């Protein structure tokens, strides 16, 4: 038994790690794709919201015409609580919603700006 080598040899598959990354990258699962993008990003993802002044202007314009958030949502055909989310800063209006808000509040010269945080 002197000629036998009893040292432990561990075999690893170098392609396994690459395969896992490819599975996450090309996966149809949106959560897996989001996690892959986060892993690849060098900086933390940035979020957008309306500036504080824009949110206050939106509230003031709505109050000037004596409408509730629910009324404006219905008249602009927005989903329920959309204007509430804009005014709270939790959601950013898309281009279609921005143009609808500008037309609706045209008399108040509404100027909505976004910021990243």
pLDDT along the chain (117 residues), means of 10: 76 70 66 77 74 92 94 94 93 90 84 81
Q: Annotate 33-84 with DSSP letters as a single string.
A: HHHHHHHH-SSPPP-EEE-HHHHHHHHHHHHHTT--HHHHHHHTTPPTTHHH
What domains does the chain contain, in order, with CATH numbers?
13-44 (no CATH), 48-116 (1.10.260.40)
What pLDDT score was predicted for residue 63? 93
What pLDDT score was predicted for residue 17? 65
Which one-letter DSSP state was computed for residue 90? S
For residue 114, give the H/E element and its range: strand 114-116
On the CB side of 96, how many CA atoms lie within 13 Å of its CA?
Answer: 3
What pLDDT score was predicted for residue 10? 75
What pLDDT score was predicted for residue 34? 80
Residues in Cβ contact with 75 at an 8 Å cutoff, skipping those fewer than 6 apart: 67, 104
């Amino acid at each position: 038994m002197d000629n036998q080598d009893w040292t432990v040899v561990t075999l690893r598959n170098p392609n396994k790690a690459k395969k896992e990354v490819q599975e996450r990258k090309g996966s149809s699962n949106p959560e897996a794709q989001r996690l892959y993008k986060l892993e690849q990003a060098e900086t933390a993802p940035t979020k957008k919201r309306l500036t504080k002044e824009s949110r206050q202007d939106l509230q003031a314009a709505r109050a000037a015409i004596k409408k509730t958030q629910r009324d404006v949502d219905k008249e602009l055909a927005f989903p329920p609580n959309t204007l509430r989310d804009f005014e709270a800063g939790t959601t950013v209006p898309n281009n279609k919603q921005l143009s609808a808000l500008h037309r609706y509040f045209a008399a108040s010269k509404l100027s909505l700006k976004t910021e990243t945080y």
